[in-house]
Amino acid sequence: MQLSKHLAAPNVAALSHSSELNVVRLTPHFSIEEFERSDTAKRKGIDNTVPKALLPNIQALCENVLEPLRQHFGMPIYISSGYRCPALNRSVNGARKSQHMKGEAADIYIKNTEMPLKAIFDWMAKHLDYDQIIWETRPSGSKWIHVSYVSEDKNRRKALKCEDGKHYLPFRAM
């Protein structure tokens, strides 16, 4: 399957259903369930179902950022936080105007310890179109990449780093 570099208007009708588990696939390696999954939502009884109107945003993020990333590195990319309904976003103390609530953002990580996550961040910053890419770390040792995609003509290509969950600084990829 040839992926377009940029999609002006994602085709939600192209979503595929896997008959195995009734999984709705956005691309060959990403499903809508990955964007809706949240331990916090489950624990607090929050319905984090993606509204149909936001599916084009999530599909554009997958087709223009996540799937090309997965195909380039040939390893699974895991979503720790995808879509967040407003109630879930408040529960996790997300930004008031978080792109997660619009289906435009995902926090991602890898489980492969041979490939440094920072190398993936650097490649993304140089080779992909994105609105924001944030290298996130915490004193506990947690690390992940926040990435968002709006559209080809509106993406800011803003690279940042955040080490404490509060202060965001410009960050240049290596």
Joined together, the tokens standing for residue 80 give 């720790």
Summarize pLDDT for 32-72 with one digit per residue, the tens. 999 999 999 999 999 999 999 999 999 999 999 999 999 99
Q: Is the pLDDT of residue 86 over 90?
A: yes
- Domain 29-170 = CATH 3.40.630.30: no
Going by pLDDT thresholds of 50, 70 and 90, the confidence category of residue 10 is very low
H helices present in 14-152, as ranges: 32-36, 39-44, 55-61, 67-73, 86-91, 117-127
19-25 CB contacts, 8 Å cutoff, 24+ apart: none
Q: What is the pLDDT of residues 103-145, one digit of tens each?
A: 999 999 999 777 888 999 999 999 999 999 999 988 888 899 9
* The pLDDT value given to residue 7: 36
Map out the domains of the chain as residue ranges: 29-170
Record the pTM.
Answer: 0.85
